[in-house]
Amino acid sequence: HRFTPLAPQQPQAAAMSSKPRVCVIGAGPSGCSILRAFKSAADKGAEIPDLVCYEKQGQLGGLWNYSWRTGVDENGEPVHNSMYRHLWSNGPKECLEFSDYTFEEHFGKPIPSFPPRQVLQDYIVGRIEKSGIAEWVKCNHVVEGVTYDDATSKFTVTVRHFSAGAPVDSSSEFDYVVCSSGHFSFPNVPSFPGMESYAGRVMHAHDFRSAEEFEGKTVLVVGTSYSAEDISSQCYKYGAKKLLLSWRT
């Protein structure tokens, strides 16, 4: 399955409506699950609010989208993704499966419990396509800020829309805001004595993209959680000379 984002549209003022307005920030698995729940309710005859979902990337899928870029993206915004080549799920797919859309339904056959990233991303996008929620999503829209007015009981969401031309800033009012942008986008880099004069490369797992570049090299991995374990395994598999693991517990 391949998802084609909606064509960029100029921000427009919201039409007057008696229905409440809901803003969903982020079109990854969480944000799209919220939209899917509203779509399901609408299909059953329920009246749903006006929905707008802002997604900073050019496609849906959230953190499972891969980008070769690190630091900033093509729009000068911080790169959201932490995905890297050869990444495999470190948890069984049975724990990641949506109750309304199984892996077997998507692929038409059983698949192994620990699939690679591309398989999981394809599955997530497949559910989005089946749900029919893309009409509510505005891709390449970066949320710059959210404020709340006690007097009006409204949220004001300010976004920057990146299109073929210059970026366009706009603001809209909403009755509710759901933040589904995740919490793995901004790396927390500790500081250790001597790092300023270290002649080698220092990088955070957020900027790791491929283990091939560490072939024949000695690598120190700080931490022993999921990313550290998988990146260590990747570096060993692709020819690192030596791996040193460090942790504080």
Residue (of 2, 67, 56) closest to 31 by Cα position:
56
More confident site: 12 or 74: 74
Helices 29-43, 117-131: axis angle to 10 degrees equals 30
Q: Which of 211, 207, 248, 245 is nearest to 228 (CA)?
A: 245
Instruction: Please give the DSSP secondary-structure letter assigned to residue 245.
Output: E
Per-residue DSSP letter, 98: B
Check: CB of residue 172 under 8 Å from CB of residue 178: no
| Mean pLDDT, residues 189-198 taken together | 90
DSSP letter (8 states) at residue 152: T
pLDDT given for residue 186 in this prediction: 85
What's residue 7's pLDDT?
A: 42
Q: Which residues of 105-114 are buried (b: 16+ CB within 10 A; e: fewer)?
A: ebeeeeeeee
* Mean pLDDT, residues 129-140 taken together: 93
Q: For 5-61, what is each residue's pLDDT tens digit?
A: 444 444 444 445 689 999 999 999 999 999 999 999 999 999 999 999 999 999 998
Extract the runs of DSSP E, i.e. beta strands, from 1-82: 21-25, 50-55
CA gap 87, 74 in Å, rounded: 23
pLDDT for the residue 16: 55
- Residue 190: pLDDT band by 50, 70, 90 thresholds? confident
Q: Is residue 249's pLDDT more than 70? A: yes
Token code pair at residue 166: 């210059």
pLDDT at residue 17, as a whole number: 61
User: Which helix (DSSP H) or strand (DSSP E) does residue 235 occupy?
Assistant: helix 226-237
Q: What pLDDT is recorded for position 10?
A: 41
